[in-house]
A and B are shown apart, each in its own frame.
Chain A
Amino acid sequence: MVRSVSVDLNNDASLVIDIPDALCERDKVKFTIHIKTTLSSFQKSEFSVPRQHEDFIWLHDTIVETEEYAGLIIPPAPPKPDFEGPREKMHKLGEGESSMTKEEYAKMKQELEAEYLAVFKKTVQVHEVFLQRLSSHPMFRKDRNFQIFLEYDQDLTVRRKNAKEMFGGFFKNMVKSADEVLISGVKEVDEFFEQEKIFLLDYSSKIKDATAKAEKMTRSHKNVADDYNHISGAMNSIAADNNTAFKKHLEKCAEVFEKLRKLEDRVASDQELKLTELLRYYTRDIQAAKDLLYRRARALADYENSNKTLDKARLKGKDIAQAEENQKQCLRKFDKLSESGKKELTSFKARRVVAFRKNLIEMTELEIKHAKNSMSLLQGSIEILNSN
């Protein structure tokens, strides 16, 4: 299976996860998670389990809210499966059925299925990558909830409800609010973090913009492909009325446009997979890195507060020991976050560079391939049409 946005995360044989299969019932997607492991913490060495999107979100949230992981970049949650596009198309298909020819209808249906499949592939991939990020990380792979997610042979729905009640989503909400203000307000002593802060804040807005623009570009490609489709249909209609050699000519032209449509569609979907999805993913990942900075900034703020509290206590001569202990803890937390944060951010950059490289190369190779195919199609058609 091709992992598009990340490097091969399954290079550690002790815990190998993939999603070989998924079922779509109405809007709900049921992913089949397949696990192969040599770890003793698991009961079996190879097994499968069905999970829904909401289960992934639960897992992500519990990890976010685990204090222990504050110094780590938490793999971004996979986005909800979005079948809005195909659904809209299906609706249009149903409405327009009476006004279309049989061929047009069959073609549209085919397109619809292809689009559906594309969304499907995307969502499977992004859920798979999420699990693989966890399984390949030394700390996350040992997470208790992760293990439950993988192993619990029953529905996680009940668990999910309980978790919400327990944690109340407190920490997650904190992370979402005002993070940029706090992060940029920190007086940074550490040069590394100063650089990272400047970089991440700027990069995050740039990559968000690039994602949006890439999406628009892909959309336009799809529209062009759609137009080729209609042109092909219209030519076939005209051909149906002609009884001469011109009819064959027109039919051939219609065929050319039909093939062009398929190629243009492939260009669009490959561009989406390699470029747009890449940008989308790293937009989320950059956010996760920013969240880390945020948590560290908070820890620093806590530490500075604890210093103030200690000073006050010393002045008053009261609760000094408590204040000292508090201050020690804050410092320890902050140092821990800084240390692990540094490691995480460094490996994050490496991971990002590798992923971009891989995807840019693959995208370019596909563009070249499709352009060459288009060219040979067109040149062959020109020859045939000229010889008629």
Chain B
Amino acid sequence: MSCMRRFCHETQSHDSLHSCMCRRSVALLLLKMSEERDPAALSGSAQTEGEEDLFVSAMESPEAARLSAEDISPSSNGPRDDDPDDPDDLFAEATEEVSLDSPERQPILSDGPSPAITPVTISPRVDVFDRSPDLDEDEEENRDTFDIQISVSDPEKVGDGMNAYMVYKVMTKTSLSIFSRDEVCVKRRFSDFLGLHSKLASKYMHMGYIVPPAPEKSIVGMTKVKVGKEDLSSVEFVEKRRSALERYLLRTVKHPALLKDPDVLQFLESSELPRAVSTQALSGAGILRMVNKAADAVNKMTIKMNESDAWFEEKQQQFENLDVQLRKLHASVESLVCHRKELSVNTASFAKSAAMLGNSEDHTALSRALSQLAEVEEKIDQLHQDQSYADFYLISELLGDYVRLITAVKGVFDQRMKAWAKWQDAQVMLQRKREAEAKLQYASKPDKLQQATDEIREWEGKVQQGERDFEQISKNIRREVGRFEKDRVKDFRVVIIKYLESLVHTQQQLIKYWEAFLPEAKAIA
């Protein structure tokens, strides 16, 4: 793996994983927390529809976070309802003001053969209080660093045989106040990551948040590692997984809501993590299967959603197309990785053969030149191998991540449809209750009448809730999609440049090697 690391150090630049929105939203949240919010109102409400409340205490169970339509009382108002300080507006604000053409915009996620630390910058607490809630574009340009760095490293095998597993060191360096320490190191295993994702998905996906998918399980890959095969393929597998886990965490904390999530904080900070129970430890694929099942259920609905918002229809179609196209691109890049590796192997093979030919050649000068040709080709085969790692880690893995992300995006659209269906169902129910009440008017059963009236009020509430939820999720999705598209563009731009630079490096080396060989060829006499 040294060659991969070598490559990293040669080409990495300290790109800051910079999310303007992330920074500003946290800044504004911190501001609001200090200036306006009554802490009691936050954690006090019994029915904590705490999804929007980013300060929900860590002790909340995931269930509470869900839209619990069943036990909603008509009087409940989550902190987010009609709240002028609705944190949601925060995001909307942030989304609108950030423009693609900001000159200060720095490339964000360095998804490359990641250096050990990939920085994400955040403004330090101090400056937050100087800012007014209405940040304008100038503020953005005077930004301070938004500082959180996460690295996943030092894979270690624990145990033996089929019960063995890999443990990774997760190091978080940050100046954010939500963290208890500046620097914390924990040990986590793969199922811990899956557990985290499963919790986040169950908390946020139904609200329309795009929760970054966890890396895929791999039975074959892990078995090799368990069995103790120390060969190159299992080493590569571990490195691939390590890198994927790192990217996963970076994406997760990049999301302003998820960064503040107590499960995320616990994951990054606490030394002991409750073992993810098998029912919860769904793989990324498992979650997505769940999403897809929901999608199927939605499709089987007899009520066809009346899409009043063309934006959603358009976007859904766009994402369908993008899905297909990205998969195709990914497949081509995977093919490139494969062929580049083959090229490396074949070049090495040729180098050996040329060396043998040189040994056999009885003309002295030609013999020497052939041996030197063999040396050049050997160096070139190493170049090709390094380039194939760049092909893989810079582009192929990123594309793979995005293919999975798009599935998650499609998932939130389906969640919206589910929310709509729920709302419609509530309306139907309400109608029925009204009809039932009307009937009871003429029967003299005052108890039942009262019950019916109560039920009507209950269902009126549910209808209202359903409508609010639907609007909320629609709003969330708009924001999330906006953020996603910006990130996608940024990621791609950054990665493509990095990749081209890797190609430049390869060509530079090629020139160097061949220019060194040329006089040797000319010296044949």
Contact = CB atoms under 8 A, between A and B. Distances in A.
Given A234-B328, A360-B521, A379 B504 contact: yes
Nearest to B345: A220
Interface string A206-224: 1101101110110111011
Interface stretch (B135-143, B172-180, B266-274, B353-361): B353-361
B339 A371 contact: no
A226 to B, nearest CB: 8
A371 B509 CA distance: 9
Contacts of A214: 350, 353
A368 B340 contact: no
Contacts of B329: 231, 234-235, 237-238
B73 interface: no
Given A217-B350, A235-B329, A371 B524 contact: no
Given A374-B503, A375-B511, A385 B497 contact: yes
Chain B contact-residue range equals 35 or more
Given A353-B363, A356-B366, A367-B514, A216 B489 contact: no
Contact of A382 (B318, B504, B514): B504
B336 interface: yes
B343 A368 contact: no
Given A217-B343, A219-B346, 9 more contacts: A206-B359, A217-B347, A231-B329, A234-B329, A237-B328, A357-B525, A361-B521, A364-B517, A368-B515
B322 to A, nearest CB: 7
A221 B515 contact: no
A223 B342 contact: yes
Given A203-B361, A237-B325, A216 B349 contact: yes
A160 to B, nearest CB: 37
Main secondary structure, interface of B, reads helix
B333 interface: yes
26 contacts: A203-B362, A212-B353, A217-B347, A220-B347, A221-B343, A224-B336, A227-B333, A230-B335, A231-B332, A231-B336, A234-B328, A234-B332, A237-B325, A241-B318, A249-B492, A256-B500, A353-B366, A360-B524, A364-B518, A367-B514, A371-B510, A378-B504, A379-B504, A382-B497, A382-B501, A385-B496
B21 interface: no
Which of A241, A371, A379 has most B Cβ within 10 Å? Answer: A371
A213 B356 CA distance: 12
A206 B507 CA distance: 30
Interface of A: 195, 199, 202-203, 206-207, 209-210, 212-214, 216-217, 219-221, 223-224, 226-228, 230-231, 233-235, 237-238, 241, 244-246, 249-250, 253, 256, 260, 349, 352-353, 356-357, 360-361, 364-365, 367-368, 371-372, 374-375, 378-379, 381-382, 385-386
Given A206-B357, A361-B521, A368-B511, A382 B500 contact: yes
A366 B178 CA distance: 59
Nearest to B511: A371
A257 B476 CA distance: 37
Contact of B507 (A230, A253, A375): A375
A256 to B, nearest CB: 7
A230 B356 CA distance: 37
Contacts of A233: 332
A204 to B, nearest CB: 9
A250 B514 CA distance: 33
A303 to B, nearest CB: 27
Contacts of B75: none
Contacts of A382: 497, 500-501, 504
B470 to A, nearest CB: 28
A233 B515 CA distance: 34
Nearest to A211: B353
B300 interface: no
B22 interface: no
Listed residue (B333, B357, B504) with the most chain A CB atoms within 10 angstroms of its CB: B357
A117 B343 CA distance: 24
Contacts of B515: 368
A210 B350 contact: yes
> Which 9 pairs show the lowest CB-CB distances between chains A and B?
A220-B343, A234-B329, A227-B336, A230-B332, A213-B350, A223-B339, A357-B524, A360-B521, A371-B510
Contact of A203 (B350, B357, B508): B357
B497 A249 contact: no
Contacts of A209: 353, 356-357
Interface string B488-504: 01001100110011011
A202 B514 contact: no
B493 A365 contact: no
A356 B525 CA distance: 11
Contact of B360 (A203, A235, A381): A203
A213 B365 CA distance: 23
A234 B325 contact: yes
B1 interface: no
B150 to A, nearest CB: 27
Nearest to A237: B325
Contacts of A206: 353, 356-357, 359-360
B72 interface: no
Max count, chain B CB within 10 A of own CB: residue among A199, A217, A249, A364: A217
Contact of A375 (B346, B369, B504, B522): B504
B373 interface: yes
B317 to A, nearest CB: 10
B362 A195 contact: yes
A372 B508 CA distance: 8
Interface string B217-229: 0000000000000
Contacts of B524: 353, 356-357, 360
Nearest to B387: A224
B321 interface: yes
Nearest to A276: B350
A371 to B, nearest CB: 4
Contacts of A210: 350, 353-354, 356-357
A220 B349 contact: no
A214 B374 CA distance: 12
A185 B524 CA distance: 34
A199 B360 contact: yes
B345 to A, nearest CB: 8
Most buried by B among A206, A352, A353: A206
B100 interface: yes
Nearest to A382: B500
A228 B336 contact: yes
A246 B491 CA distance: 12
A213 B518 contact: no
Nearest to B373: A360
A283 B89 CA distance: 76
Nearest to B324: A237
A354 to B, nearest CB: 9
A61 to B, nearest CB: 30
B164 interface: no
B326 interface: yes
B270 to A, nearest CB: 41
A227 B369 CA distance: 33
Contacts of A224: 336, 339-340, 343
Contacts of B496: 253, 385
A357 B521 contact: yes
A347 B70 CA distance: 98
Contact of A364 (B340, B356, B503, B514): B514
